[in-house]
Every structure is written in structure tokens, then in C-alpha cells.
Amino acid sequence: MTVKSGLIETINTSWRKWVEPWYVVYTFLGVIIAGLIPILLPLRVDQVGNPSQVGWVMAAVSLGGLSAPLWGTLTDRYLLHRWALIVGLFLTASGLTVFAFSSHPAVWFGMALLLSIGAAGASMVANLFVVEMHPKSEWDERIGWLQTFYGLGQVFGLLLAGFLSKVDFHVSLLIAASLSAVSVLVGWLTIPNPPRYSGEKPVLLHTARHAEATVHSPQRFFHPLSMESIKQFSLVLRSRFGIFLTIWFLTFAGSAAVFSQYPLFMKKVFGIGTDVSSVAFSLMAGLGLLFYTPAGNWSDRFGSTLVLRSSLALRLAAFVGLFTLGFTHFGFQGWLALLAFAFVVLAWSLMSVSGTALAAKLSPVGEGEGLGIFNSVNAVSGVVGAALGGWVAGNWGYTTTSIVAVAGVASGLLLSLIFTERKHKE
């Protein structure tokens, strides 16, 4: 056996050791929730609706994430891990199916909320299948691979969305629903209920390794908001953790104004077709996966607050570029807009790693509870940003949504300068 063939065999053996068949379910979920929905839902609503309705529908997609504590309680109490996954995926498929045939705003909102609640249930139990069925020494590797499968699902989903944007939206959404239905079958055949519930709630600091057009990744739901966290919320708000959460809320909400309208923003401001913008987003998301490990190394070396502040500065510069380009007209304007948005997406790799680390380090109520609050702020800021972005676009045009992004990120960056000047020792 040659050295090269031996190395390849070792890699293949390692890959097989950490990956289980049910990871495919979360590839499907990444395709649907992180890839197809952020593109297809805004386009479908825009056919017969208005920008404000697009904003509210995408806000509902984030709002469903707040159902995670209920899913968690029922799953832990009655050992319904497998059923939480199956029912969650079924609700997602049902919501997409009804959405495909409806043209009423209230139904759109309800179905977006339903599919979001279903996705929250399916995502919430992902890490539990790892930590309750494998020894602690294997958690990092297995969860790392789980993230990879979900992130690759987003990349493929965005590519697929570019193709489906040229197809009738009834058909496109039914294809998305059918993928969710297929994942129900795969999940039923591959996932057993954990044999026990240890009651242990380990702190998993794995970041959500995908662009933040959606907040439904499995990592976002391992630590849901708890009643204990709510009771201690006044303490949180008075602490440095409260300042950090404010920074995160402003930045995430501002960015969500553009992300929630992404295909329409690119099409109506820069004349970029959805097939091109979706493929570009896919490439950006794929490239962003390469920056998570360096971001972790930089956070360890230079401190998480400095990495966070640098990422906010990068994202602000990119949004200012998009805002400026929106008021200009020349031949390659669209390509420059895609380049600017690429830096918006790449900045997320730095933000996600440093933000997750800071949430755990600064929490005055424990790391697990702090991450639960942090994840809830993600969902709430996504709701606010999407609704605000839709309202602004409806009243003053899609170009102005970039103003919301600039204002939000600039406010977060300014507050982060005050935050770091106090020289908190991480």
C-alpha cells in the first residue's frame, strides 16, 4: 500500500466513523430552511403581494424559532426525540404545500409560522441524538460533521433555488415540500429514540456554520430559552452581557432587513436575476465555511471582542458599498453589488464564532442559560429586522432597505467600541 492510498483510506475511515445515516435528514433541512425558503418565499409573495407582506412572511420564519423551549420540554419529559423530528418535518412539508396554493397574506403568514415551528422542532433534537447516544469524547467530532452536513445543505439549496426560480412557484414550493416529506421517511428509517435521558445539558459552543438568512440551524436550538433564564433577565440586562446582546440585536436586525428581501433586493435594485443571485449566494456561503476555523484561531489569539468588532466593521463597509451602488448606474454595477454582498456573508463567519464565544463568556447566569438567551435574541432580531425591512421597502423602495442595514450595523459597531474600551478581560 502506498503512502497516498494509506492516507486516503485513513480519511475515509475517519469520515465513516463520525457520520451516521440520519445526518442526511439535516442536509435536507439545510436545503429547505437555509437554502430554498429564503429565496422562494419572498419571490412567491412578491408575485401577488407587496414588500411589507414579504417582510412579515420572513419575520414569521424567524418567529417560529421561539417555539424551541416547548419542543424541548415535551421531548425531554416524554422521550419523544424521534417524534419531534418526524412531526417537525411533517409540519414543514405541510406549511410549504399550503403556501404554494395560497394567495392570501394571512395564510402566508400562518403557513410560514407553521413551517418555521416544524423546523424548530426538527432542529432542536439534532444535537440530542448525538449527546444522548454517544460518549462525551465523541461529541465534538460528531457535531462538527453534523454542522458540515447542514451547511452543505444550504449551499446546495441555494443552487437549487436559482434553478427553481425559473419554474412556476407552485411547482417550486411543492418540490421543497416533497424534499421535506422525503426527509420524514429517511428520519423514520434511520433515527431511533435515545435509550435514555441523562438529564445532562452540556454547553456546546459550536457556532452555526451557515449564513444567517435563517436562524434554524441545529446549533441554534440546543440551548433554548428557559424559564430560569427569563426569571434572571433583569440581571442579564444590567450586566455587560446585556450590552453585548444589544450590539447583537442591532446588528442582526439591521442585516435581516436585507437578508429577508435578498432575491428581490438584488433583482429590483441591481437588475440581477434570481438564478444568478442565488448561485452567487451559494458560492459565498460555501466560501464562508472555510473561514470558521481561522475565525476561532483569531478569537483565541486576539480576543473575541476584537474579532467581533472587526467583523462588524467589515460588514458595515460592505453595506455602505451596497447602499452607494444602489444610487448609481453603470455597466458592471451588479457585479460590484454581488462582491459587496460577498463581504457581508464572509463577515458572518467571524461574527458567528466570536458572538457565540462572547455569549458563553459574558453570561452572568451560566453558559448554558446565556446561550439560550443569545439564541432567542437571534430569533427576535430576525423578526424585527424582516418586518422593518419589508415596511421600509414598501414605503420607500428596496434601495432603502440597505439604509436599515447600515444603521443597524453602524449602531452595533459604535456600541462595541464603548464595550471594548472598558477592557473586559475575557
Q: What is the pLDDT of residues 36-83, one digit of tens each?
A: 999 999 999 999 999 999 999 999 999 998 898 888 888 877 778 888
The model's pTM is 0.90
Structural domain includes residue 1: no
Residue 215 confidence (pLDDT): 65
Residues 292, 353 contacting (CB under 8 angstroms): yes
**Domain membership of residue 372 as a residue range:** 8-421
Higher pLDDT, 347 or 78: 347
Task: Please state the domain count of the chain.
Answer: 1
Winning range, highest mean pLDDT, from 74-83, 192-201, 286-295, 336-345: 336-345
What does the pLDDT average to over 199-206? 66
Q: Which of 304-318, 364-378, 383-397 shows the lowest mean pLDDT across its residues?
A: 364-378
Residues 338, 321 contacting (CB under 8 angstroms): no
Structural domain includes residue 3: no
Q: Is the dihedral of CA 10, 11, 16, 18 positive or negative?
A: positive
Residue 419 confidence (pLDDT): 64
Q: What is the mean pLDDT of the chain?
A: 87
Burial of 79 (0-12, 13-18, 19+ CB in 10 A): middle
Q: What is the pLDDT of residues 282-295, one digit of tens each?
A: 999 999 988 888 99
Structural domain includes residue 380: yes
Residue 129 confidence (pLDDT): 83
Closest CA to 55 of 238, 312, 257, 275: 257
What does the pLDDT average to over 170-192? 91
- DSSP code string of 128-169: HHHHTTS-GGGHHHHHHHHHHHHHHHHHHHHHHHHHHTTS-H
Task: Kindly report the CATH number assigned to the domain that includes residue 215.
Answer: 1.20.1250.20
Structural domain includes residue 426: no
Burial of 138 (0-12, 13-18, 19+ CB in 10 A): middle
Residue 412 confidence (pLDDT): 96
Structural domain includes residue 222: yes
